[in-house]
């Protein structure tokens, strides 16, 4: 399956289709069961042309399990949800249960990861607000066994229907995608930008929009941990733009006659700003 949008705006990385399946595809990348891994590694691999698959034992980390749609996996964080709330905020060094959990996982963590577990990632002001953040997430347990990341060019539309199409682009390309997502609607709210884990922006938030009568795209990668991981894989600084499949098809139909054929866009992409 080809994306005319990707060609029109010069996307360098393969658009990635996210699909649900009950059948595991062959020759795919997959994390080992129970082993840590960041979903962004697999997104990067799919953007390079590989197929990646996840299930309820191979989603990499609790946040990844949540982001991919495998239910509330924060309850399975080492030490439970309370330890996760401390981890995302002020750290687990300030309470006994947290310190005990830290000691139990220390043999399995890299020094940097252990430091974050103990002293926190500092992304939310306090643990109580992390609880509020979790409650706000559109957590869902999808009725499928697998989530698949597949380069769009390897999708057979006669056999497969993606849930979401993820573009990875620079700011000029993201601006173009944002205009195109609103182009046919007469409104300016066709794209949302929630603060969330990188996998949640392309996963559960986009899934929620896909179920909407008027689906919006989800701009993502305001998660700097995810940005760091993906930048190491792609050697590029990008944002993610997750379009529910129905919206993607609408956008594909709106290239002809749009700004993408006009002088302002051509002048912008001709500028070589370092």
Tens digits of residue pLDDT in 73-87: 999 999 999 999 999
41 shares a domain with 152? yes
Average pLDDT of span 51-62: 96
In a domain, 270, yes or no: no
Q: Are 53 and 28 in contact (CB under 8 A)?
A: yes
**Cα end-to-end span (Å), the chain:** 33
Residues 6+ positions from 70 with CB-CB distance below 8 Å: 54, 55, 56, 59, 141, 142, 147
pLDDT at 219 exceeding the cut of 70 = yes
Look at residue 205 and tell me if it is in a domain: yes
Give dist(CA 217, CA 200) in Å, integer.
Answer: 13
Write out the residue range of the structural domain in which residue 219 sits: 4-62+141-264
What's 22's DSSP letter? Answer: S
- Report the pLDDT value the prediction gives residue 93, as an integer from 0 to 100: 96
pLDDT higher than threshold 90 for residue 26:
no
271 in a domain, yes or no? no
172 and 88 fall within a common domain: no
Q: Taking 70 as the threshold, does the pLDDT of residue 272 lie above it?
A: no
Predicted model pTM: 0.95
55 with 109, same domain: the answer is: no
27 confidence band (pLDDT: 50, 70, 90)? confident
**Residue 145 sits in the same domain as residue 127:** no
What's the whole-number mean pLDDT along residues 25-30?
Answer: 90
Of the residues 136, 163, 180, the one at which a domain ends: 136
For the ranges 41-55, 104-118, 197-211, 231-245, the lowest mean pLDDT is seen at 104-118
Residue with tokens 């310190």: 99
Q: What is the pLDDT of residues 100-111, one digit of tens each?
A: 999 999 998 889
pLDDT of residue 273: 59
Residues 207 and 232 in one domain: yes
45 φ, ψ to 5°?
-65, -40
Whether 237 is covered by a domain: the verdict is yes
Q: Please tell me whether residues 78 and 181 are part of one structural domain.
A: no
Is residue 269 assigned to a domain? Answer: no
Q: So what's the pLDDT on residue 28? A: 94
33 and 125 assigned to the same domain:
no
Cβ atoms < 10 Å from Cβ of 175: 14
Counted domains in the chain = 2
Give pLDDT tens digits for 128-161.
999 999 999 999 999 999 999 999 999 999 999 9
The reply to whether 22 and 149 lie within a common domain is yes
Indicate whether 196 and 253 sit together in one domain: yes
Sorting pLDDT into bands at 50, 70 and 90, what band is 274? Answer: low
From 102, 136, 170, give the residue that closes a domain. Answer: 136
Closest CA to 230 of 69, 42, 86, 52: 42
Residues 129 and 200 placed together within one structural domain of the fold: no
DSSP secondary structure, 96-109, as one string: HHHHHHHHHHGGGS
Residue 180 lies in a domain: yes
Domain co-membership, 98 together with 46: no
Burial (0-12, 13-18, 19+ Cβ within 10 Å), 271 = exposed
Whether the per-residue pLDDT at 127 is higher than 80: the answer is yes
Average pLDDT, the chain: 95
Last residue of a domain, one of 115, 136, 157: 136
Cα dihedral 212→178→250→166 (10° resolution): -80
Establish if 156 belongs to a structural domain: yes
According to DSSP, the residues that pair with 217 across neighbouring strands are 191
Q: Of 58 and 108, which is predicted with more confidence? A: 58
Q: What integer pLDDT is reported at residue 156 of this predicted model?
A: 95
Regarding whether 126 and 21 lie in a shared domain, the answer is no
274 found inside a domain? no
Per the listing, tokens 């691999």 go with 45
**Tokens 């996760």, residue located:** 84
C-beta atoms surrounding 95 within 10 Å: 16
């Amino acid at each position: 399956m080809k994306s005319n949008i990707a060609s029109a705006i010069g996307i360098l990385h393969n658009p990635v289709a996210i699909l649900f399946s009950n059948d595991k595809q062959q020759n795919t990348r997959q994390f080992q069961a129970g082993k840590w891994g960041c979903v962004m590694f697999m997104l990067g691999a799919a953007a390079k042309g590989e197929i990646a698959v996840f299930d309820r034992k191979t989603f990499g980390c609790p946040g990844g399990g949540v982001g991919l749609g495998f239910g509330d996996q924060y309850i399975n964080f080492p030490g439970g949800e309370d330890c996760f709330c401390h981890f995302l905020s002020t750290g687990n060094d300030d309470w006994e249960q947290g310190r005990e959990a830290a000691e139990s996982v220390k043999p399995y963590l890299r020094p940097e990861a252990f430091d974050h577990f103990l002293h926190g990632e500092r992304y939310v002001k306090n643990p109580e607000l992390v609880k509020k953040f979790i409650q706000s997430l559109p957590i869902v347990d999808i009725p499928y066994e697998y989530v698949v990341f597949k380069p769009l060019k390897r999708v057979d539309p006669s056999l497969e229907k993606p849930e979401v199409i993820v573009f990875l682009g620079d700011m000029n390309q993201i601006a173009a995608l944002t205009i195109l997502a609103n182009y046919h609607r007469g409104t300016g709210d066709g794209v949302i930008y929630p603060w969330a884990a990188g996998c949640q922006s392309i996963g559960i938030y986009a899934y929620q929009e896909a179920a909407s009568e008027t689906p919006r795209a989800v701009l993502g990668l305001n998660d700097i941990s995810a940005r760091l991981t993906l930048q190491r894989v792609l050697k590029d600084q990008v944002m993610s733009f997750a379009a529910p499949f129905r919206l993607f098809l609408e956008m594909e139909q709106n290239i002809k006659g749009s700004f993408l054929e006009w002088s302002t866009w051509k002048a912008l992409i001709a500028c070589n700003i370092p």
